[in-house]
Amino acid sequence: MLTLTTPLTRLEHADLIRRLREIEDAYQFKHNLIQESAYASLLKNDRRALHRACAAALERAYPNSLDEYAALLTKHFAEAGDDAKTFEYARRAGDAAFRVHALDEALIHYDTAGLLAARLQISISEVLHLHQQRGRVLEVMGRYQDALDAYRALEHLGKIRNEPQLEMGALLSLATLYTFPNPAQDLREALRANRAALQFARATRDEAAQARALWNMQQYSYFHGRADEAVEYSQQALALTDRLNLRELRAYILNDVSRALVTTESVPSALNALAEAREIFREAKNLPMLVDNLSTTAECAQSGGELDMAEQFARQAQELSQMIGNVWNLAYSNTSLLGVFALRGEYTKALEACDVTVRLARESGFFIAAHIADTQRALIYGELGEPARGIEVVKQIRVPESILLFEAWRAGTLLGLSVLQQDYAAARETLAFAQQLNMDDLSTYGPIFLALGGAEIALFEKRYADAVDATRPVVNRLRALQFRFLFPDLLLRQGRGYLGMNELDAAQDALREAERTARYMQARPILWQVLAELSDLEMRRGDVERARVLKQEAREITARLVEQMPHEFHASFRAQAKVRALVET
């Protein structure tokens, strides 16, 4: 039986190696040059035999932790000349590195495995896994064109080898990349690729591939402003994942359908879907998707008016994004933060967050985040008394024509700013343009923008009943969804319509609901306006003291808002007619 005790003791006495006391039976050369000299002195066959022996020893010693040692095993088997084992552990090392977001390391291991796969007889499923994982790493790194090239190469490989599974897998990955927001987003190409993949999946009766294709269609529908259709696709996909026990794919579907659920079922339904997905991502140690889930939860909470929750999840997302170096999700989480700051009236923080978001969005290629930041910046300028400046910002935004979501945001923002500028001719023109779009789906916020703009124009023209009619269906819809974003704004316009009709009880009901909602959200910019309107209502009812108290609180809120905005906007904010009317009366 071979024993190394005596030789190791001699080497230690010769001061060539030293024992690592903290690790039993572990030694280290005193200098790298000694190690290199000793290694170079070995014959080639001896070196290979020693590497093979080391690899075998690791496999015996750590049978339940091979992924942890996969990188080391890859090296030993490569030096031993064992291509099959090198491929196996390079692939495993790539997967292990990707799980902890060590992207450069993962790419090196996948490239090593890829070179070997070309000359080994490996299964189709292993080829597919390797290429899809490598492409996914490139996506997360923000190398979208390289990812597209990788998937197209896989599609070509499937065609020349006449392997439908490879071609289908490539098409599914292409469809996913084309569907989700990134510089390569192309919804027309996404639809083409996904239809072809779905045809392959049905022909081969591959239900797992069908589930993924349905997930892609879910997102395609969402970005086309068809949330109901997106939910239908998700239900079909989830039925397959449940039958096939595809838990991680289920998490992806739940995570992404949450945005549609917010506008079709309810905000709590969306938050429940996100919570289930979050636990699966945690179990799988899928950090990129966990951080995406945290950002999406923040976005959903903001829609529900849960601003403290939104900030909490956005900051968790920021922390994890920074830890794993995920700039895309860092930009995403910042969009939720800037929305929270803006709704609270923390304008300086919001504008700073806009700057950070745009920078991160450009760095990561997440152009949606830049559009959100710019539209939010424009609206803040409008709230602070400079709507013309906001309109100039919006006019500089270039949105993809194929994505209704962006055009709806842009049109809705222009409509609101035109009203703030009291340019009702421009507002009517924008409203007419927006009405030609598919603005019925709440995922675009289209119905809210149309209702607000239509009500403002009607109020200006003293068509008070039309103002109420413009807001009532959307108010009822949002109330049922527990969707509080812009909900008090709608109720304020509705209350003004009722006041114009001299229906004081109905006006009071609308305005008090607006007040309750705004207080719950801590949405000070809309709260002070609601309080001012309630003050006028109480004065008409003859309750002078109540009117005084409400107006005083509104004044105090505007004073705090001034403290939380950049100094350059103090004059323009105070110069607004509604602010002057509050302060001077």
* Conformation bin of residue 502: beta by default, left when phi > 0, alpha when psi is -120 to 50: left
H helices of 265-366, in order, are: 267-284, 287-303, 307-324, 327-344, 347-364
Please write down the long-range contacts of 191-196, taking CB distance under 8 Å and 24 or more positions apart.
191/220, 194/220, 196/171
3-class state of residue 442 by DSSP = helix
Q: What is the pLDDT of residues 548-568, one digit of tens each?
A: 999 999 999 999 999 999 999
3-class state of residue 46 by DSSP = helix
Structural domains of the chain sorted by starting position, each given as residue range(s) with its CATH number in brackets = 206-277 (1.25.40.10), 467-585 (1.25.40.10)
What is the spatial distance between Cα 490 and Cα 259, in angstroms, rounded to a whole number?
A: 21
Residue with tokens 């495993």: 92
Identify the band that residue 1 occupies on the pLDDT scale cut at 50, 70 and 90.
Answer: very low
What is the distance, to the nearest Å, from the Cα of residue 22 to the centroid of all Cα atoms in its chain? 44
| pTM listed for this prediction | 0.82
Report the mean per-residue pLDDT for the chain. 89
Q: What is the pLDDT of residues 384-403, one digit of tens each?
A: 999 999 999 998 887 655 55
Q: What is the pLDDT of residues 310-348, one digit of tens each?
A: 999 999 999 999 988 888 889 999 999 999 999 999 999
Question: Do residues 264 and 280 touch, judged by C-beta distance below 8 A?
Answer: no
Specify which residues 27 forms β-bridges with.
Answer: 19
Identify the band that residue 12 occupies on the pLDDT scale cut at 50, 70 and 90.
Answer: low
* pLDDT at residue number 66: 82
